[in-house]
């Protein structure tokens, strides 16, 4: 049966599962059934060879009785209770719900592997932790394990031709004629609350809008013909629009209201580079081979730095022990990193 992998994480968390999914596919000989969080998990692994199917919940902390998606997961677990289950969740409340689901589905404990049973190592990258803690079969499934070849140490994503056509049509509608594309991701999940923008003091990944505008001016000075896309979600649009207003002129597109995940993936596949805070889209860009400068706050780059499967450059700025907030990173340091960013090894052709 398909091995089952469970992780109720955000976009970057789900993406960092990719090397583990590849190991389990090779080890068991079947692609994985992934239980994740929506709406990004299914879109992220669409057409991916290591994932047979994705079941996703919209809210990982919603009670089981009121969550139809979780009931579908429960039925799938019950039907496949002879399969290996690899639980990659560490958040206590989500982990408690997973354990309850496994018990209700009558999945034997000997068929389960829990990441939390393997202690974390200091400054260990999350990919290595996943491979070390969940990359072996549980005792009752050892007979089905065929052994796994060498692991990839970076996530890899897959595009469809429809994704590429959608991207090119979207760019052309904005006056694109094949100019270089750069991506900028100023916001993260903490940037916006339900009632508006979060105060910068409550967000260790916040960088002042004036600094983003200064970085954009430097980017256009070095790449005057570039098409720069400000990336984000619909509720981040006011922040992006304020940055665009401060910046002034240039081929600048605010893409907060029409940038679904698959379009972002396709843009990253042809972009010359990206500037981003430490957030999920930065991991997406690296996975698509896009050179990247990423700004860290309280999280350690050693544990969370995006990785590229193509060898494209990832320059991490900030993070402990030197910094605990992105706002502590100087604008000049960011501009210097952008200018030092090597070109991607090979730029795919865009229609």
Which of the four pLDDT bands, split at 50, 70 and 90, describes residue 69?
Answer: confident
Residue 319: how many other CB atoms lie within 10 Å: 24
Which region among 97-111, 145-159, 251-265 has the lowest average model confidence (pLDDT)? 145-159
**pLDDT at position 349, please?**
45
The two most distant CA atoms of the chain are separated, in Å, by 63
Q: How much of the chain exceeds pLDDT 90, in percent?
A: 82
Q: Is the pLDDT of residue 106 over 60?
A: yes
**What's the rounded mean pLDDT across residues 153-178?**
96
Tokens at residue 171, please?
A: 């760019």
Which region among 29-33, 69-73, 102-106 has the lowest average model confidence (pLDDT)? 69-73
**What's the rounded mean pLDDT across residues 142-168?**
92
DSSP per-residue letters across 300-342: -HHHH----SS---EEEEE-TTT-SSGGGS-HHHHHHHHHHPP
Q: Is the pLDDT of residue 269 over 80?
A: yes
Instruction: Name residues whose C-beta falls within 8 Å of residue 17's C-beta, 6 or more positions apart in sequence.
Output: 5, 7, 34, 88, 130, 155
Which region among 60-64, 136-140, 144-148 has the lowest average model confidence (pLDDT)? 60-64
**pLDDT at position 334, please?**
98
**What's the rounded mean pLDDT across residues 206-225?**
95
Which of the four pLDDT bands, split at 50, 70 and 90, describes residue 61?
Answer: low
**What's the rounded mean pLDDT across residues 55-68?**
74
**What's the rounded mean pLDDT across residues 183-199?**
72
**pLDDT at position 59, please?**
72
**pLDDT at position 151, please?**
81
C-alpha to C-alpha distance for 216 and 222, rounded to whole angstroms = 10
Which of the four pLDDT bands, split at 50, 70 and 90, describes residue 147?
Answer: confident
**What's the rounded mean pLDDT across residues 262-280?**
97
**pLDDT at position 135, please?**
96
Arithmetic mean of pLDDT over the chain = 92
Q: Could you give all domains of the chain from N- to C-terminal order, each with its CATH number?
A: 4-144 (3.40.50.2000), 161-340 (3.40.50.2000)
Which of the four pLDDT bands, split at 50, 70 and 90, describes residue 251?
Answer: confident
163 and 48 in contact (C-beta within 8 Å)?
A: no
pLDDT in tens, 119-143: 999 989 999 999 999 999 999 999 9
Give the SS3 label for residue 73: helix
**What's the rounded mean pLDDT across residues 255-275?**
97
C-alpha to C-alpha distance for 61 and 95, rounded to whole angstroms = 10
Q: Which of 220, 44, 20 is nearest to 134 (CA)?
A: 20
**pTM over cut 0.85:** yes
């Amino acid at each position: 049966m398909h091995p089952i992998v469970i992780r109720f994480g955000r976009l970057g968390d789900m993406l960092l599962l990719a090397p583990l999914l590849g190991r389990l596919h090779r080890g068991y000989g079947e692609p994985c059934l992934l239980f994740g969080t929506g709406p990004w998990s299914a879109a992220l692994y669409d057409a991916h060879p290591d994932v047979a199917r994705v079941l996703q919940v919209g809210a990982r902390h919603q009670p089981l009785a009121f969550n139809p998606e979780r009931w579908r997961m429960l039925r799938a677990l019950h039907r496949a209770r002879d399969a290996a289950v690899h639980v990659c969740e560490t958040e206590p409340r989500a982990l408690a719900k997973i354990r309850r689901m496994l018990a209700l589905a009558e999945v034997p404990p000997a068929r389960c592997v829990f990441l939390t049973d393997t202690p974390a190592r200091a400054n260990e990258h999350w990919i290595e932790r996943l491979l070390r803690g969940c990359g072996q079969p549980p005792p009752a499934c050892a007979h089905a394990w065929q052994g796994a070849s060498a692991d990839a140490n970076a996530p890899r994503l897959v595009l469809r031709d429809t994704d590429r056509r959608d991207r090119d049509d979207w760019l052309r509608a904005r006056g694109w004629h094949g100019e270089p594309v750069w991506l900028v991701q100023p916001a993260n999940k903490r940037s916006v609350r339900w009632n508006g923008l979060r105060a910068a003091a409550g967000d260790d990944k916040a960088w002042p809008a004036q600094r983003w505008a200064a970085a954009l001016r430097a980017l256009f000075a070095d790449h005057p013909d570039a098409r720069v896309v400000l990336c984000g979600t619909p509720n981040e649009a006011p922040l992006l629009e304020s940055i665009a207003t401060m910046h002034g002129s240039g081929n600048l597109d605010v893409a907060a209201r029409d940038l679904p995940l698959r379009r972002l993936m396709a843009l990253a596949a042809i972009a010359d580079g990206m500037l981003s805070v430490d957030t999920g889209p930065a991991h997406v860009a690296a996975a698509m081979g896009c050179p990247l400068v990423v700004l860290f706050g309280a999280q350690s780059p050693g544990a969370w730095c995006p990785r590229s499967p193509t060898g494209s450059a990832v320059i991490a700025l900030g993070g402990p022990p030197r910094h605990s907030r992105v706002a502590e990173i100087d604008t000049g340091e960011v501009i210097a990193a952008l200018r030092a960013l090597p070109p991607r090894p090979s730029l795919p052709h865009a229609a």
